[in-house]
Amino acid sequence: MSTNVVSEIIPYLYKASSIPNAINMFLMNANTDQEQFIDFSNKLTYFQSLLIDEQQVTHPKDLDDLYEGIYTNFPTLKFDFISRRKSFLKFCSKCSLFCETGKPIEKVRDMKGCRIIIYDDNPKTGTDSCYALMEYVIKFFTRLKKYQLCEAEPMMKTAGFNSAEFPDIYVPETSKVPYDYQRFVKDYIFHPKINFGYQSLHVILFDPIGNPIEIQIRTHLMDLHAESGPASHKIYDKIRYGDDNFMNLFDAASVHMPGFLLDSDGKIIKDTAGLVNSRTLFERSRLF
C-alpha cells in the first residue's frame, strides 16, 4: 500500500492527547523536504484553527444570518440547515488522494461546510427551489458579506449518465444556475454522477480573510439517495479510494484521546472531536 506525506501523521494520532496536539507533533517532526509538505502543513494549520474556534463559539454569525435570510425571504420553504466540519481523517484521506493523483493539496477546500436540505415531495418544484436558493445564497455572501466565489473544479463521473438506470431520479431539462454563476457552481442535479445518481448543488466561497466554506443544496429525496442509497459516502469512498484509502492505514483502537471511545467490538461509540465522523457545529430547521 502506497504512502505519502499525509500518511505520516497517523502515528502521531496514536501518541497525541488531541487532534491539535497530533498536528503540532507532526509539524515539528515531519520531513519538510517531501513533496506537498508545505501545502499539507498549511491545510493542517487551518484545520487546527477550525478546531480551536469550535471550543470558543457555537457557530459563525454569517451562517446564522444566512439562516435568518432564508427564513425571511422563503416564507413557505421547509428546510434543514446544517453546518458541519469534515472529520479529520476524511480531510486527511482527501489530501492523500490528491497526493496520489498529482492534484495540489491547496485545492482541498471543503473542510467546513453547510448543507441545506429542502423538503418538497414534488421533484420538479423541489428542484426549482434548490436553484432559487443557490442564487440567493451566492448573492447573500458576495453582496452582503463580501465573500468571493471560487471557480469550481471540473465535475467528475457525470458523462454518460443513463436515467433509465435510476428511474426514481428527476433530472430537469436544463440547468437553472444563472449564467454568471455557472463556472462557480457544480450542478450535480442537472449532471448526476454516472455510477451513483448523486444529485446536489455545490459552491465554494472564500470569506474576507480567505477561508473557504462549501455550501451544498439538495432536496430531502436527493439527500436520502446520497446518504443511504447507491450514492452514499460509504459506497462512493470505497470505489473512489479503493485499497489506497488513507482510512485503511488507520487503527482506531490505537487512539487514546478524550472524547474518542470504542466498544468491545471496536465500534466507535463516541467521537466528540470529529476524528473519524464529521462534526455538526449547529443545526436549525423549519419544518412547518
Domain count across the chain: 1
Residue 38 lies in a domain: no
| Pairwise CA distance, residues 206 & 204, whole Å | 7
Residue 216 lies in a domain: yes
With helix as H, strand as E and coil as C, how does 207-274 read? CCCCCEEEEEEEEHHHHHHHHHCCCCHHHHHHHHHHHHCHHHHCCHHHCCCCCEEECCCCCEEEECCC
Residue 90 lies in a domain: yes
Residue 28 lies in a domain: no
The whole-number pLDDT of residue 241 equals: 46
Residue 142 lies in a domain: yes
- Residue 113: burial class (beta carbons within 10 Å; 0-12, 13-18, 19+): buried
| Pairwise CA distance, residues 212 & 147, whole Å | 9
Residue 43 lies in a domain: no
Q: Tell me the three cell numbers of residue 286.
A: 423549519
Is-contact 204 213, C-beta < 8 A? yes
pTM above 0.85, yes or no: yes
Cα dihedral 151, 154, 227, 83, rounded to 10, equals -10
The whole-number pLDDT of residue 245 equals: 67
Please give the residue range of the domain that contains residue 222: 59-251+260-286
Q: Residue 57: which residues within 8 A CB-CB, separation 6 or more?
A: none
Question: Domain containing 90 — which CATH number?
Answer: 3.30.460.10
Mean pLDDT by 10 residues, the chain (288 residues): 79 96 94 84 93 71 95 98 95 91 91 96 98 99 97 89 90 97 98 92 96 97 84 50 68 95 94 93 94
Residue 153 lies in a domain: yes
Residue 42 lies in a domain: no
